A = this chain, B = another copy of it.
Amino acid sequence: MDSVRFNNLDKTDSFRKLLSLGEAVDIPSTLTPERIRSCAIPIGGGLSYNYAAKGLSEKVITLLSDLAEEQELAKKYRLLYEGEIMNTGEKRMVLHHLTRGQLGAEVQFEGKNLRTFYLLQQQRIDSFAKQVHNGMIKGSTGKKFDTVVQIGIGGSDLGPRALYLALQGYVETLSGGQHMKALFISNVDPDDPNMVLSTIDFETTLFILVSKSGTTQETLTNMKFVIEKMGAASIPGLDPKKHMIAVTSQTSPLTGSDDYMEAFFIDDFIGGRYSSTSAVGGTVLSLAFGEDVFADLLAGAAEADRLSLSEHPGNNAGMMDALIGVYERNILGLPLTAVLPYSQGLHRFPAHLQQLDMESNGKSVNRFGEPVSYSTGPVVFGEPGTNGQHSFYQLLHQGTDVIPLQFVGFRESQTGFDLPIDGSTSQEKLNANLAAQISAFAMGKEDENRNKYFPGNRPSSIIYGSRLTPAALGALLSHFENKVMFQGFLWNINSFDQEGVQLGKILTKKVLDGDVADPVLQGYIRLLSG
């Protein structure tokens, strides 16, 4: 690692130059058809990233390119996927890329080739899923499984759930459709398991307990909750052990337990929010959709990982997206990013990105544990268009703050069936809306009535492709993972730990142990217990 420097952002020459530029770029003056064509970078999975409506001068783009070089983004990516300890806080490797491909030198741990290990897990999952689908593995009362319920929280919930919802429409169009319906239980609020369990048949339901450590309070509670309710259902012959599998690490207390008929493994090198392409996402998605769909998703992610290898942001969409984000955050001082997918299937994808981005880069110390003196990760939020247009876009267009926008769009719908109504199909209407919004945000509109005036100059980028296929979705996932990683390198922070969740856990334990000498805890507990 001695050949790579880990400098804070504000110690780099190119950042200082960017700061001193003070060059405000007027988007309308630059947004020509030529520029729209020239600002496209392939992502993988048939997707492209286009930043034409970002309003960046050539000078800024050059300095951002210099910054990428100065912060050695490509080299640090290589260190990461080749097994350097890039999660410095927890002293761990960061290997989620290996779950979908071998980008460089092999990575060994305790004599084990980790690519082989992750592949093996996916093969075991494929084989298990096949046996569930063909009825070789049945529920304890002899019925075929038709429903899978994932019990997990955070990265064991948001990513897999977003991907499941994003592919339902696609799989709907395949012959046979879904193999199994998938549901998710995450919250420790008893209303969550109660409501999910009120809709399922225990005899035909397979539960997946997902917890890397095997100690997640919410998840273990919900697992026990489910088992108790299964028992209370008094169904002759029903055996919870035959309805429960686990995704966990080999060192977790769940491994080897008789309570699970099967276990698939991840390890400490797959962070929760980066685990969708590991067994954490693979198990539920393979059971619901079959192994081919999940294999296509992995292939799309692997392609995007490879395209992110380029040293030049002009050929590296994840890197360019990261650089522009840092420019907006640290030079323009904008604290937010809105993610606006024009595809109903992606309706929970922003919730996954919220975790991915905010948990990775919502940090105030650099990778050496020293406070940084600049802003880091932004807040990420979003809802699908056109819904958002009828909701919060008012503020995006005419509010007092400028919010950078990240659009996503596709030429074709996922489900295919469409109708011409009043001269255009629904998909044509959807994309007419999308093009109109990008133009409205960028160009604005003069009006003497200031209430009808649109300032424009509101920057956006768009990720687009022909259809939201499994490969496109995998590439989309990888694009954002790599963007967040590159931003962590730019800010010189560790994007792979989450110390900010610890204090709440400690205090929760105190409360549950009855140790509430603390007057603040006492005050709020009293308030919440009436």
Pair A391/B355 contact, Cβ less than 8 Å: yes
Bound complex: CA A193 to CA B417 (Å): 10
| Residues in chain B near residue A505, CB distance under 8 A | 436
| Residues in chain B near residue A523, CB distance under 8 A | 31-33, 36-37, 52
Asked if A80 is an interface residue, CB under 8 A from chain B, the answer is: no
A163 to chain B, nearest CB (A): 15
Asked if A4 is an interface residue, CB under 8 A from chain B, the answer is: no
Pair B504/A426 contact, Cβ less than 8 Å: no
The chain B residue with its CB closest to the CB of A359 is B394
Q: Which of A259-312 contact B (CB under 8 A)?
A: 272-273
Pair A169/B195 contact, Cβ less than 8 Å: yes
The chain B residue with its CB closest to the CB of A525 is B435
Pair A426/B381 contact, Cβ less than 8 Å: no
Bound complex: CA A521 to CA B351 (Å): 30
Pair A228/B419 contact, Cβ less than 8 Å: yes
Q: Which of A471-530 contact B (CB under 8 A)?
A: 494, 497-508, 510-512, 518-530
Partner of A442, one of B436, B501, B520, B530: B520
Is chain A's interface secondary structure helix, strand, loop, or mixed overall? helix
A491 to chain B, nearest CB (A): 10
Pair A153/B387 contact, Cβ less than 8 Å: yes
Asked if A384 is an interface residue, CB under 8 A from chain B, the answer is: yes
Asked if A335 is an interface residue, CB under 8 A from chain B, the answer is: yes
- In the complex where A363-B399, A398-B500, A424-B512 touch, is A431 in contact with B392 (Cβ < 8 A)? no
Partner of A394, one of B89, B168, B439, B501: B501
Copies of this chain, complex-wide, total 2
Asked if A201 is an interface residue, CB under 8 A from chain B, the answer is: no
Interface size on A, residues (CB 8 A): 155
Pair B417/A190 contact, Cβ less than 8 Å: yes
Asked if A454 is an interface residue, CB under 8 A from chain B, the answer is: yes
Pair B387/A187 contact, Cβ less than 8 Å: yes
A198 to chain B, nearest CB (A): 6
Bound complex: CA A395 to CA B385 (Å): 26
Pair A504/B401 contact, Cβ less than 8 Å: no
Pair A371/B450 contact, Cβ less than 8 Å: yes
Q: Which of A376-420 contact B (CB under 8 A)?
A: 376-377, 379-381, 383-387, 389-401, 403, 409, 411, 413-415, 417-419
- In the complex where A33-B519, A358-B394 touch, is A389 in contact with B433 (Cβ < 8 A)? no
Asked if A58 is an interface residue, CB under 8 A from chain B, the answer is: no
Partner of A362, one of B153, B392, B430: B392
A187 to chain B, nearest CB (A): 5
Q: Which of A42-59 contact B (CB under 8 A)?
A: 50, 52
Pair A377/B399 contact, Cβ less than 8 Å: yes
In this complex, the member of A172, A381, A466 whose beta carbon has the largest number of chain B beta carbons within 10 angstroms is: A381
Pair A391/B154 contact, Cβ less than 8 Å: yes
Pair A389/B431 contact, Cβ less than 8 Å: no
**Can you list 5 A-B contacts (CB < 8 A)?**
A187-B384, A359-B393, A363-B394, A365-B453, A429-B508
